[in-house]
Amino acid sequence: MPSLGADMEAGTLVEWLIKAGDPVKRGDIVAVVETQKGAIEIETFETGTVERILVEIGAKVPVGTPLAIIQTQRGKEGVAPPPPAAKPPPPLKAPAAGPPPVAAKNGRVARGARISPAARRLAEQHGIDILTITGTGADNTILLNDVERRIAELKAQAPRAPGFDLAAMREAIAAAMARSKREIPHYYLAHEIEMSACEDWLTRRNAERPPEERLLLGALLVKAVALAAQKFPAFNGFYHDGKFEAASSVHIGTAIAIRGGGLIAPAIHDADRLSLDDLMMKMRELVERVRAGRIRGSEIADPTITVSSLGERGVETLYGIIYLPQVAIVGFGKVATRPWVEGGTVLARPIVNATLAADHRVSDGHAGALFLTEIGKLLQEPETL
Partner 1 sequence: MTATTNKPRLSRSHACDLLKQMIRIRRFEDKCAELYTQEKIRGYLHLYDGEEAVAVGVIPVLEKRDRIVATYREHGHALVRGVPMKTALAEMYGKREGCSGGRGGSMHMFDQATNFYGGNAIVGGGLPLSVGLALSDQMRGQDNVTACFFGEGAVAEGEFHESVNLAALWSLPVLFVCENNLYAMGTALAISESETNIQRKAACYRMAAEAVDGMDVIAVEAAARRAVAAIRQTGQPYFLECRTYRLRAHSMFDAQLYRDRAEVEAWRAKEPILRFRSWLEQSKMLDPEDLTRIEAEVAAEIADAVSFAEAGTWEPVGELTRFVYAEKTA
Partner 2 sequence: MLHKAAQVAVTETTYREAIREAIRDALKRDERVFLMGEDVGRYGGCYAVTKGLLAEFGPKRIRDTPLSESGFTGAGIGAAIGGMRPIVEVMTVNFSLLALDQILNSAATIRHMSGNQFGVPLVIRMATGAGRQLAAQHSHSLEGWYAHIPGIKVLAPATIEDARGMLWTALEDPDPVLIFEHIMLYNMTGTLSPDAGPVNIDKAVVRQEGRDISLITYGGSLWKTLEAAASLATEGIEAEVVDLRTLRPLDDATIMASLRKTHRAVIIDEGWRAGSLAAEICTRIVEQAFWDLDAPIGRVCSEEVPIPYPRHLEEAAIPQASKIVAAAKALLKRA
Question: Of 201, 220, 208, 191, nearest to 369 (Cα)?
Answer: 191
Closest CB 134 distance from partner 2, rounded Å: 10
**Which own/partner contact pairs does 92-98 have at CB distance under 8 Å and 24+ positions apart?**
none
Closest CB 60 distance from partner 1, rounded Å: 16
Contact between 291 and partner 2 per CB under 8 A: no
Contact between 126 and partner 2 per CB under 8 A: no
Closest CB 178 distance from partner 2, rounded Å: 35
Task: Find out whether 340 and 351 touch, Cβ atoms under 8 Å.
Answer: yes
Closest CB 43 distance from partner 1, rounded Å: 8
Task: Find out whether 156 and 163 touch, Cβ atoms under 8 Å.
Answer: no
CA distance 200 to 315: 23
Question: Of 279, 286, 186, 318, nearest to 239 (Cα)?
Answer: 186
Please choose, out of 13-21, 112-120, 186-194, 201-209, the segment that lies near partner 2 by the rule CB under 8 A: 112-120
Please choose, out of 81-89, 219-227, 251-259, 348-356, the segment that lies near partner 1 by the rule CB under 8 A: 81-89
Contact between 81 and partner 1 per CB under 8 A: yes
Please choose, out of 10-18, 72-80, 84-92, 114-122, the segment that lies near partner 2 by the rule CB under 8 A: 114-122
Task: Find out whether 17 and 30 touch, Cβ atoms under 8 Å.
Answer: yes
Q: What angle do CA 173, 325, 366 make, to 5 degrees?
A: 115
Closest CB 141 distance from partner 2, rounded Å: 8
Secondary structure letter of residue 304 according to DSSP: S
Tell me which of 49, 116, 249, 380 binds partner 2, using CB under 8 A.
Answer: 116
Contact between 3 and partner 1 per CB under 8 A: yes
Instruction: Choose between 96 and 168: whose C-beta lies nearer to partner 2.
Output: 96
Calculate the CA 344 to chain-centre distance.
56
Contact between 123 and partner 2 per CB under 8 A: no
DSSP 66-87: --EEEEETTEEEESSPPPP-PP
Q: Which does 233 bind (CB under 5 to 8 A by kind): partner 2, partner 1, none?
A: none
Residues 59-78, one symbol each (x = binds partner 1 by CB under 8 A, - = not), give ----xx--------------
Contact between 4 and partner 1 per CB under 8 A: yes
Please choose, out of 50-58, 85-93, 158-166, 289-297, the segment that lies near partner 1 by the rule CB under 8 A: 85-93
**211 CB burial (10 A radius; 0-12, 13-18, 19+):** exposed
Closest CB 41 distance from partner 1, rounded Å: 9
Contact between 91 and partner 1 per CB under 8 A: yes
Contact between 104 and partner 2 per CB under 8 A: no
Please choose, out of 33-41, 211-219, 255-263, 341-349, the segment that lies near partner 1 by the rule CB under 8 A: 33-41
Contact between 108 and partner 1 per CB under 8 A: no
Q: How far is CA 225 from CA 203, 231, 250, 305, in A?
A: 21, 10, 10, 9
Tell me which of 3, 132, 140, 298 binds partner 2, using CB under 8 A.
Answer: 140
Question: Would you give the end-to-end CA distance of the chain in angstroms?
Answer: 99
Could you give the 3-state DSSP secondary structure of residue 343?
Answer: coil
Tell me which of 5, 62, 101, 163 binds partner 2, using CB under 8 A.
Answer: 101
User: Helices marked H in the chain — which ranges?
Assistant: 117-125, 144-157, 166-183, 196-207, 217-231, 276-292, 297-301, 365-378
Question: How many Cβ atoms sit within 10 Å of the Cβ of residue 112?
Answer: 7
CA distance 308 to 310: 7
Contact between 197 and partner 1 per CB under 8 A: no
Contact between 37 and partner 1 per CB under 8 A: yes
Secondary structure letter of residue 364 according to DSSP: -
Please choose, out of 83-91, 157-165, 270-278, 353-361, the segment that lies near partner 1 by the rule CB under 8 A: 83-91
Contact between 114 and partner 2 per CB under 8 A: no
Q: What is the CA radius of gyration of the chain?
A: 42
| Residue numbers at the binding site for partner 1 (CB under 8 A) | 2-8, 27, 35, 37-40, 42-43, 45, 63-64, 81-82, 84-85, 88-92
